[in-house]
Structure 1
Amino acid sequence: MTSLVAVSSHLPETVPVDGLKDSLGLDDQQVRRFTRLYGLDRICQAPDRSEADLLTAAAGKLEGLAGQEDRVRYVIRAKGLRTTAPYPDNPLQEVRESLGLRHARTFAVEDHGCATGLLALDVAGTLLESDGDPDALALVLAGDKTLTPFSQWVVDVSIMGEATAAVLVAPGGGRDRLMGYASRVHGRADGVIDLTGELAKEAIRIYQDALEEVVVAATEEAGISVADLDMVLPHNVNRVSWTVAAKNLGIPASKIFLDNIGATGHSFCADPFINYRSATERGLLAPGDHYLMTSAGLGQSFAAAVLRH
């Protein structure tokens, strides 16, 4: 059964939301909405560091990777955005080479938006299981550069940060075992993902029901109910959406880890893994606890994964 061997994160320096007012073209009302209502305060930004630098920084903190490089069979880039670096740069290959992962196949998964991190985790487990080598490992890399104006914020929803995460995955293990995974895509045939006009209205209309659908499906596959969850590690989009989700799902707000919304901003598909690091460092997960990682992405993609600590 798929398990997390180690999870690490890299949090660059932060800037206050009002410090991004000019670059994002925010008015005073939008700044107040993001900070007072949505709970955003500071956003991770690393203007002088490349995507490869940020991903390598996260992977370099992984416990259990040093000395085990030859066991890594796959390096999987979880991309929240389709384009994350200018041609001909290849951040994934740069990270692979800098970490000395000589025997690893490298590829990216995308088009699930900020839910792609959990998709990559499921793909890693599927590949490792099919290999049949109990000593094999996979490395999942998550988090994007805000390379273009489109990627820097989701209008009136969240502001994107540049924190990154790295996850070392094994085909078996006694802790942090993946018990259930579910994903759904409610996208359009033409592939349009911009949250404008009628698309934005439709996204708002289906969001909570679609999120509940994958959460319930993942818990059922894990053989538990939503009420059995000990903690939720969400994507850091904003506080309002999770206040509503907690009520709809019947989950006490105290079980949803929201501290990083104000500390990092929404760092694409790295958020659940960043929240895992914060929760474990603070001793919030006990052995045997069931916790949920969940996220949603542009294009109306939703995913949830239940793991046992």
Structure 2
Amino acid sequence: MITLEAIESHFPARTVSVEDRAAELGLTAEQTHMFRRHFGIDRMRYEPSLGIVEQLVPAAERALAGTSPAAVRHLVFAHALHGADQLSPDTLREVARRLGLEHANAFAVTQQNCAVSMSALDIAGTLLQAEEDPSARALVVVGDKPLTQEAQLIMNTCVVADGTAAALVANDGPGVPVRSFATRTLGQFSDGVLSTPETFRAAAEARPRVLAEVMEEAVQSAGCTLDDVQWFVPPSPNLVFWQDAVPDDELRARFFLDNIPRYSHCLAADVLANYVTLREEKRLEPDRPVMLVAIGVGMTFSAMVVVPGTEHGAVAR
């Protein structure tokens, strides 16, 4: 069984209001008002002087605390943005150097946008299952640093902020066990933000149904039900997105959306960072399922059921 031995996040120190960030992006007063009152964004962390490497390393170092670098056989970098105008090809090499992981098998995973972190965890676990050494570990680092206006302001509905995450993965090791993973990609919507208005409408109509199917598949594989899940931990694009994607008010009440006004949208890192917030605020009950869930632009739906324990900051109620 795949286990998450450590999960950590990192945000830069600089906090800006949505008004400050909107001014930097050249938004109108009407657009700024929409982001605060309609989409639910209040503030975020944003530090233009820091590159992606500087933001990935702190979370990774915390995830590796107490672990010998020699035990880490695989280094997986999950990111939403792709293309030479967003990411240097030397990014992962530099992260490995700073962490002392030059020996690790290092590669990147992308193309699934906000859902990519779960696929990276699943890939890391699969690789570890092929290892003969039970002490072998994989480190997954997750994050993006948008460099263009189009990537910093997505479809006028998401203001992208800075934030990263990391997870140390083991095979049958200590930590949070992964009970199931379900994923589905609807390729007809692969144009993503470049889609036609007709395709956008079709995607919006399909989104609640397909999300519900993938979530149900995940709980069935985990041997539980949706009613058993204490928290659903999604990415944080905005409040309206989840109101549309999860029309059931009672179900959506268990979606952790508190970080939307605190941190805005940190692309691929949101899911793990939101889990860390729940853990740090001691809002997790031990031995009760939590579902990591995401819809990535391009219509990748992913759901992963994990079961936190008291050793990872959960608290009995």
Q: How would you bin the TM-score normalised by the shorter chain?
A: over 0.9
- Aligned-pair CA distance for 1:203: 2.5
Partner of 2:278: 279
Residues 208 and 84 of structure 1: is their aligned pair in 2 closer, same or farther, counting only changes over 3 Å? Answer: farther
Partner of 1:261: 260
Say which SS state the counterpart of residue 39 (structure 1) adopts: coil
Counterparts of residues 58-207 of structure 1 (less than 5 Å)? 58-62=59-63, 64-83=64-83, 89-188=89-188, 191-196=190-195, 197-207=197-207
Partner of 1:288: 287
Residues 96 and 130 of structure 1: is their aligned pair in 2 closer, same or farther, counting only changes over 3 Å? Answer: same
Q: Report the Cα distance in structure 2 between the residues aligned to 1:198 and 1:24, rounded to whole angstroms.
A: 28
1:214 and 2:214 are equivalent in the alignment: yes
- Aligned-pair CA distance for 1:258: 1.4
Which whole-Å deviations, capped at 9, do the CAs of 1:48-81 have from their partners, x for residues lacking one? 011111101211222x434511000110010111
Unaligned runs of 5+ in 2: 309-317
The residue type equivalent to 2:291 in the other structure is L
Residues 21 and 235 of structure 1: is their aligned pair in 2 closer, same or farther, counting only changes over 3 Å? Answer: same
TM-score of the two chains, using structure 1 as the length reference: 0.92
Identity fraction in percent = 34
User: How much is the aligned-residue C-alpha RMSD, in angstroms?
Assistant: 2.0
Q: Report the Cα distance in structure 2 between the residues aligned to 1:304 and 1:180, rounded to whole angstroms.
A: 8
Say which SS state the counterpart of residue 193 (structure 2) adopts: coil
- Aligned-pair CA distance for 1:274: 0.5
Partner of 1:27: 28
Counterparts of residues 42-57 of structure 1 (less than 5 Å)? 42-57=43-58
Q: Report the Cα distance in structure 1 between the residues aligned to 2:26 and 2:155, rounded to whole angstroms.
A: 11
The residue type equivalent to 1:106 in the other structure is A
Residues 42 and 179 of structure 1: is their aligned pair in 2 closer, same or farther, counting only changes over 3 Å? Answer: same
Q: Report the Cα distance in structure 2 between the residues aligned to 1:214 and 1:220, rounded to whole angstroms.
A: 10
Q: Report the Cα distance in structure 2 between the residues aligned to 1:170 and 1:249, rounded to whole angstroms.
A: 36
Q: Report the Cα distance in structure 1 between the residues aligned to 2:250 and 2:133, rounded to whole angstroms.
A: 40
Residues 275 and 156 of structure 1: is their aligned pair in 2 closer, same or farther, counting only changes over 3 Å? Answer: same
Residues 193 and 158 of structure 1: is their aligned pair in 2 closer, same or farther, counting only changes over 3 Å? Answer: same
Say which SS state the counterpart of residue 5 (structure 2) adopts: strand
Verify the 8 A CA contact 1:237 1:266 in the aligned structure 2: yes
The residue type equivalent to 2:262 in the other structure is A
User: Which range moved further: 24-33 or 129-138?
Assistant: 24-33
